[in-house]
Structure 1
Amino acid sequence: MNWEQILAGRMSRMKASEIRELLKLLDQPDIISFAGGIPDPKLFPAEAFRDAMTTALSDSQYATSLQYSVSEGYGPLRDWIADQMGLIGVPCTPDNILITSGSQQALDYLGKLMLSPGDTALVGWPTYLGALGAFNAYEPRFDRLDPGSNREAQDYHDAAAPGRVKFAYLSADFANPTGVTLDQAGRERLLDLAEELDIAIIEDAAYQTLRYDGTAIPPILATEIARKGSIDACRTIYSGSFSKTLAPGLRIGWVCAAASVIGRLVLMKQAADLHTSTLNQIATHIVARDHFADHIPSLRETYGRRRDLMLDALDREMPEGVTWTRPEGGMFVWLTLPDGTDGAELLARSLKTERIAFVPGHAFHPDGTGRNTIRLSFTLHEKELVDEGIARLGRLLRAS
């Protein structure tokens, strides 16, 4: 059968993730990988999850944990998340929370909710590759979001015609891939722009908890609530995740937004997979309730130290003409290489010679630009491998 003749046109826009392909390299023991933005499995609260799973499957719980459940998500987990949102300046109720199968599912649903073919999504340049993949299925065009620029709302509107701008997507804290944080003034300007354009804001907060130094900045949603008085009056949609803090394999994320938005997303959840794994939600609730407060400081200490190790190694080893970000949190450092250097070609040579892996920066740009950039992740390795890997990268760049 010729499958090409019956595939939807959107399939031509769906590409393999370069990051997912690079993760396969982690199985090769001689490669030092700075590629995947993944948490260190040695830091997973595995014993706590073993105990939680035992509780979830106990005689008093198994009938709930192994059964179908409501699409909105497990009630006690939604209660816990609503309480945590309140602590960061987002007063809300469980009616403002939807549990998703990871924050990636949330991005897919939000693209489906708002994008028609030809509509415009405003994104960073660069931006999270997974967001581009999720939104691409709904056939949008992408325009550059830069809250620090003086670009007028009318210009965004005119560029989107005959479609319209639907939302602005960003990770405001320690963004993937750059590690950069949007300051409070930038968040205020973004809210002003969204008001002028009458669009939604999707705030991807996957890394917000992982701040190692500096002063915490309120989420965009918290800033908007301070303006408007209630989450149900807000246009900001907050996407959270346990993947970077507890464990990614359980695939537990959430959306926090106006109840009217949550209601529409629930309809999508019902049609897509009915509900996120009840067993995983119950286990995550138990671990979050009993261990989250003690677990997060340990993560911050370890990842913060590893960030410092990478920044110190870059200071020592990078040749002239290479610059990089100095993130206050998250998982990534973003390198800008001398003009004419191609990150993809550099990676190909690296895998043959120096045996280090990283992500070429063009993958994070909707238009394929940014070829002289690369992303490094600092979460997996301690000093010996960081020093060796960055020394190899410096050697590779000097030979370019």
Structure 2
Amino acid sequence: MSLQPLFARRTRRMKASEIRELLKLLGQPDIISFAGGIPDPAHFPRAAFAQAMARATEAQAAGVALQYSTSEGYTPLRDWIADYMARHGVPCTRDNILITAGSQQALDYLGKIFLDPGDTALVTWPTYMGALGAFNAYEPRYDRIDPQANRPVEEIAAEAEAAGGRVKFAYLSSDFANPTGVTLTEDQRRSVIARAEALGCAVIEDAAYQELRYRGEAVKPILALEIGAKGTIEDCRTIYLGSFSKTLAPGLRVGWVVAAKPVISQLVLTKQAADLQTATINQIAVAEVAREVFDSHVAELREVYGARLNAMLAALERHMPPEIDWTRPDGGMFVWLTLPAEMDGAELLKRALEAKVAFVPGGAFYADGSRANTLRLNFSMSGPGRIEEGVARLGQVIRAAM
């Protein structure tokens, strides 16, 4: 007997994550892996979390830490986030904030509350494959968000209507995007707001990598620019997603959403139906660690990861054939390579694994599966020596395949 015929239609659009599968390679010490987009566990603030967890489980505190809590989230953590957002030009209150089980959960909830089958989601080309995985279950049509404003919004809206729906939101990462490492300029961010206004849609700003800037001047978040123009977050269409996964620790699964109160209220209802709340003890620990060491810890990560980015860019210059192009990000965790048009990243990976080096093929980051001649390299998990060796191996594999 199989229950598969009873599965809902939406399950046909659910696909295994190539990244999650490739993470299994991290346990093989002979493979130099540039595949996982994950922070280096050697630089987790372990002592701070151990102390915070110990305090949270002391007799008197345990009644709060181990108990059910509000769906909105732990109040001291939401207050810390409100102060953090104010530092980035986003004045808001705790009522504009929902704590989620990582920003990945927020993506799923936003797909659930915005998308009807046939609606259009605008995404970058390429985009974060986890966002596509979250949205796919709600059966959208995908189109390209163009920060350069080259394509008429009337054409985008007409095509969405012809497909049986309307444009509901534009999703993008404005800083050091996964997978490309590209950062939008302030003019491009303002263009995104203007185009969303013309389309009457929301903007989902994924800020997972915002703190990981290693050089250059920070650019204000899209939400900050919109508040600057409109005066209050309550009049804004931008929904900001933050996460502690890339700064403090991913395993605790603590992220947040900042938006106008009606959006937060709808997301709270969605969370109540899904999992009631994010784990209280995790929120308490994150609140304490963020209050104690966030700025100093992020400064340490910038130094470590910045050196690794420099090592990767220098290694690419030394070892890649002249036909290969790559991005030169100012932060984040990724460098994006473009191969000659006739090459396939997935086929190249098979050869690379024989040479004991891994990466993520780029095709899965495109909503239409195109551009197979691309790949993503992660530098946060490897020291400069392994980066040099891994890029040298990859260069040899690429040359042999050309």
Tell me if TM exceeds 0.5: yes
Aligned residue number for residue 52 of structure 1: 52
- The alpha-carbon deviation at position 110 of structure 1 amounts to 0.3
Query: Any idea what SS the aligned residue of 1:248 has?
Result: coil
Identity %: 64
Query: Any idea what SS the aligned residue of 2:59 has?
Result: coil
How many Å separate the matches in 2 of 1:217 and 1:208? 9
How many Å separate the matches in 2 of 1:4 and 1:292? 46
- The alpha-carbon deviation at position 293 of structure 1 amounts to 1.4
Aligned residue number for residue 259 of structure 1: 261
Aligned residue number for residue 298 of structure 1: 300
How many Å separate the matches in 2 of 1:384 and 1:213? 22
2:324 maps to 1:322: yes
Query: Any idea what SS the aligned residue of 1:399 has?
Result: helix
Moved over 3 A (4+): none
2:366 maps to 1:358: no
How many Å separate the matches in 1 of 2:3 and 2:348? 36
How many Å separate the matches in 2 of 1:317 and 1:324? 12
Aligned residue number for residue 100 of structure 1: 100
TM-score of the superposed pair, with normalisation by structure 1: 0.99
How many Å separate the matches in 2 of 1:382 and 1:62? 39
- The alpha-carbon deviation at position 220 of structure 1 amounts to 0.1
- The alpha-carbon deviation at position 58 of structure 1 amounts to 1.2
How many Å separate the matches in 2 of 1:344 and 1:254? 34
- The alpha-carbon deviation at position 231 of structure 1 amounts to 0.5
CA offsets 1:22-48 (integer angstroms, 9 cap, x no match): 000111111000001000000000010
How many Å separate the matches in 1 of 2:176 and 2:295? 21
2:369 maps to 1:381: no
The residue identity in structure 2 corresponding to 1:326 is: R
When the two chains are superposed, the root-mean-square deviation of aligned CA atoms in Å is 0.6
How many Å separate the matches in 2 of 1:248 and 1:290? 18
How many Å separate the matches in 1 of 2:361 and 2:397? 14
Aligned residue number for residue 158 of structure 2: 158
Aligned residue number for residue 71 of structure 1: 71
TM-score of the superposed pair, with normalisation by structure 2: 0.99
Summarize the alignment of residues 155-194 of structure 1 with structure 2, pairs less than 5 Å apart: 155-161=155-161, 162-194=164-196
How many Å separate the matches in 1 of 2:226 and 2:393? 46
Summarize the alignment of residues 237-316 of structure 1 with structure 2, pairs less than 5 Å apart: 237-316=239-318
- The alpha-carbon deviation at position 60 of structure 1 amounts to 2.2
Query: Any idea what SS the aligned residue of 1:60 has?
Result: helix
How many Å separate the matches in 2 of 1:52 and 1:2? 47
- The alpha-carbon deviation at position 4 of structure 1 amounts to 2.2
Aligned residue number for residue 86 of structure 1: 86
CA offsets 1:68-123 (integer angstroms, 9 cap, x no match): 00000000000000000000000000000000000000000000010000000000
Q: Which of these residues, 201, 204, 212, is aligned with residue 203 of structure 2?
A: 201
Query: Any idea what SS the aligned residue of 2:251 has?
Result: helix
- The alpha-carbon deviation at position 382 of structure 1 amounts to 1.2
How many Å separate the matches in 2 of 1:345 and 1:146? 30
How many Å separate the matches in 1 of 2:108 and 2:341? 35
- The alpha-carbon deviation at position 168 of structure 1 amounts to 0.1
- The alpha-carbon deviation at position 200 of structure 1 amounts to 0.2
Contact 2:169 2:201 in 1 (8 A): yes
How many Å separate the matches in 2 of 1:61 and 1:232? 35
Contact 2:149 2:191 in 1 (8 A): no
Unaligned ranges ≥5, structure 2: none
- The alpha-carbon deviation at position 2 of structure 1 amounts to 2.6
How many Å separate the matches in 2 of 1:184 and 1:141? 28
How many Å separate the matches in 1 of 2:118 and 2:2? 28
Query: Any idea what SS the aligned residue of 1:333 has?
Result: strand
- The alpha-carbon deviation at position 351 of structure 1 amounts to 1.1
Contact 2:149 2:195 in 1 (8 A): no
How many Å separate the matches in 1 of 2:87 and 2:377? 31
